[in-house]
Chains A and B, each alone.
Chain A
Amino acid sequence: MFFDRWREILETLWRHRLRTSLTALSVAWGIFMLVILLGAGSGLQNQIEYEFRDDALNSVWIRPGRTSQPFEGYRVGRRIRYDNDDFDAIRERIGNVEHMTGRVYIRGSALVSYGDRSSTFSTRAVHPGHLHLENTIITDGRFLNVLDLRDRRKVAVIGRKVAEYLFGTEQPIGEWLSIGEVRFRVVGVFDDTGSEGEQRMIYVPITTAQVAYGAGERQDQIMFTIGDATEAEALETADEVRELLAGRKRFAPNDVRAARVSTPIAEVGRIRALFGAIRAFVWVVGIGTIIAGIVGVSNIMMISVRERTKEFGVRKAIGATPYAIVSTVVQEALLLTSAAGYVGMLAGVAVLELVDRYVPENDFLRDPQVDIGIAISATIVLVIAGVLAGFFPALRAARVPPVVALRDE
């Protein structure tokens, strides 16, 4: 009897194909759009988080700049650059410096060679503290240390891609490679959670590079971490650094373009706020889509029940109880909306999966996924709406005396 009843319901749905497909479409579309929207939202969030995962967030980055205001008789547009004394001054005067490093870029992409293999890789001359600024993971050997700097040792720590290219399966530790004209001994190999570019990097002691490549006392960039400082503390530290440098280099303390001091944590905060707004927007649109689905389903169910008033009258005349009428309509609605909702959900998840698999890495979306619990809840909400939308008109129709329903107009 159970299968018999469902067979009857399936046949009714099949006989009213147009109505069935319209209802199914409105439910499936609602769920589909919700899944796509939520997926796009999560893809956006994942991409933003991915872009920041390479660097330590709680850090201050100091890059050279040009003055944008005249100060004490100096002209506008004067270049501000840093040297070892500025580095020491920051370390001594700024309170919450944790790990600190300078950076010297070796001019041009130096040709790096080992044996008969060579290629161009970027080389950064840094302090040991650099390890904590990029998410550098030593996989073999060690990173640079204070002795390397004190003795200006010619040692290098190479990225995974560099090791793979130059050494293949050979053990690189202890081998000598050339960076431009200078030979360095490999003391460590690292991996990096950031982009492939980070894995094609070579680190050498900053003191060695300043001598070997004629950089003198120059430092192209200075950065340091600030422990577990809050966003407000980070911004405050950045201001302190700029004021310190303003005093040393003679530029206006509020000239943000003279010394470009940035704090990733503050940028992340801004982007997180933006993302929160986007997520709220996604939810508003998603809920709107669901409501449109509910309205669509309700309309179709109400119209369909009204259309069938006469049919119900005949069924009652030949022995259908009101319960049989109502339960038939409710079961039809239940089957239709849940099947359609399921299909919409599957289609949405499938589209997200295809996007994830076939759309190349880009700057907008990464790993778009939907919380399946949310998708299921939304489907359940639509199913309940569909069932209620069928239930109340069906109840009314079932209460109409058969005489009234059968009256020929």
Chain B
Amino acid sequence: MIELRSVNKSYRTGTNALHVLRDVDLTIETGELVSIMGSSGSGKSTLLNILGILDDYDSGDYRLNGELIRKLSARRAARFRNRHLGFVFQSFNLMPFMNAVENVALPLYYQGVSRRKRLRTAEEYLERVGLLEWADHRPAEMSGGQKQRVAIARALIGKPRVIFADEPTGALDSGTSEQIMELIEEVHREGITIVVVTHEADIAARTQRIIRLRDGAVVSEAS
């Protein structure tokens, strides 16, 4: 599903070039639940952004579902993300002025689905994450765990092949983290490939495979 070959990425800050990713080789099979671990500054977020086509890379190859992803136009990248990828963020990134069901329905708006149909679909997905009765509430009225469930429902609604979760439990207490991980595992059991970025060992331990990054290079892969 995901194939990285010698991917390099550096950021230019003034006169210094910061080499964030060094010759990263990586393969993630369809249906895997994988975690990427590393301390802060190890390049794990950059890696996730490249995998999620949120950011470009300097050299190497990235194939997603067999298709070469390189220097896509903003328009094609947006299409690709919309149709094939789902995102879950540490800080949820819900629209504060929309209620839960509207937040979940948003990706379908960019697919051109009619309002009535996308709200109905969004309700189904809210029900899946156990929040149907919260459909009319705005994010500000919800707990962190509830917000992350809404975000997961939003990531799922576009029927993605891969879901990228960036520190999905980073802002949650351990009890709530547990529930979110259960939900992620449940989604995984339905056959969706999931990549979790975390620095918490107990979260990483719940995935099938851990990819460790240090100073922008893959140091070990353990299952």
Interface residues of A (CB under 8 A from B): 1, 4, 7-8, 12, 15-16, 310-311, 313-324, 398-399, 401-403, 406, 408
Contacts and interface: CB of A to CB of B under 8 A. Distances in A.
Given A311-B95, A406-B89, A318 B75 contact: no
Nearest to A399: B74
Which among B90, B97, B109, B154 has the highest number of chain A CB atoms within 10 Å? B109
A319 B157 CA distance: 12
A403 B78 contact: no
Interface string B164-193: 000000000000000000000000000000
A318 B90 contact: no
B125 interface: no
Contacts of B112: 1
A156 B55 CA distance: 99
B114 A402 contact: no
B90 A321 contact: no
A319 B110 contact: yes
A401 B110 CA distance: 18
20 contacts: A1-B112, A311-B95, A314-B93, A314-B95, A315-B110, A317-B52, A318-B82, A318-B110, A318-B154, A318-B158, A319-B78, A319-B79, A319-B82, A319-B107, A320-B78, A401-B56, A403-B49, A403-B55, A406-B93, A408-B91
A314 B95 CA distance: 8
Contacts of B97: 12, 15-16
Contacts of B89: 406
A322 B75 contact: yes
Contacts of A16: 97
A399 B78 CA distance: 12
Contacts of A402: 54-55
Nearest to A407: B45
Given A1-B112, A403-B54, A323 B87 contact: no
Interface of B: 49, 52, 54-56, 74-75, 78-79, 81-83, 87, 89-91, 93, 95, 97-98, 106-107, 109-112, 114-115, 154, 158
A408 B92 CA distance: 11
A320 B109 CA distance: 9
B95 A321 contact: no
A88 to B, nearest CB: 90
User: Of residues A8, A310, A314, A398, which shows the largest number of chain B Cβ atoms within 10 Å of its Cβ?
Assistant: A314
B110 A320 contact: yes
Most chain A beta-carbon neighbours within 10 Å: one of B79, B82, B83: B82
A322 B74 contact: yes
Contacts of A8: 109
A15 B111 CA distance: 23
A399 B73 CA distance: 11
Contacts of B74: 316, 321-322, 398-399
A323 B97 CA distance: 22
Contacts of A322: 74-75, 78
Given A311-B95, A318-B106, A408 B81 contact: no
A293 B95 CA distance: 30
Given A1-B112, A7-B115, A16-B97, A317 B75 contact: no
Contacts of B110: 315, 318-321, 324
B81 A317 contact: yes
A12 B75 CA distance: 23
Contacts of B109: 4, 8
Contacts of A398: 74
A16 B97 CA distance: 8
B90 A408 contact: yes
Nearest to A7: B115
Which 5 interchain pairs have the tightest Cβ spacing? A319-B82, A15-B97, A319-B110, A321-B78, A314-B93
Nearest to B86: A318
A403 B107 CA distance: 18
Of A322, A398, A399, A408, which is in contact with the most chain B CB atoms at under 10 Å from its CB?
Answer: A408
Given A319-B107, A406-B54, 13 more contacts: A4-B109, A12-B97, A16-B97, A310-B93, A315-B106, A317-B54, A318-B154, A319-B158, A320-B82, A321-B74, A321-B75, A398-B74, A401-B54
Contacts of A324: 78, 110
A4 B78 contact: no
B30 to A, nearest CB: 21
A363 to B, nearest CB: 55
Question: Which of B78, B98, B109, B115 has the most chain A CB atoms closer than 10 A to its own CB?
Answer: B78
B111 A319 contact: yes
A401 B107 CA distance: 18
A403 B109 CA distance: 21
A4 B114 contact: yes
A403 B77 CA distance: 13
Contacts of B95: 311, 314
B170 to A, nearest CB: 10
A138 B66 CA distance: 98
Contacts of B56: 401
A177 B106 CA distance: 91
Nearest to A408: B91
B115 A317 contact: no
Nearest to B106: A318
A16 B96 CA distance: 11
B87 A317 contact: yes
A59 to B, nearest CB: 72
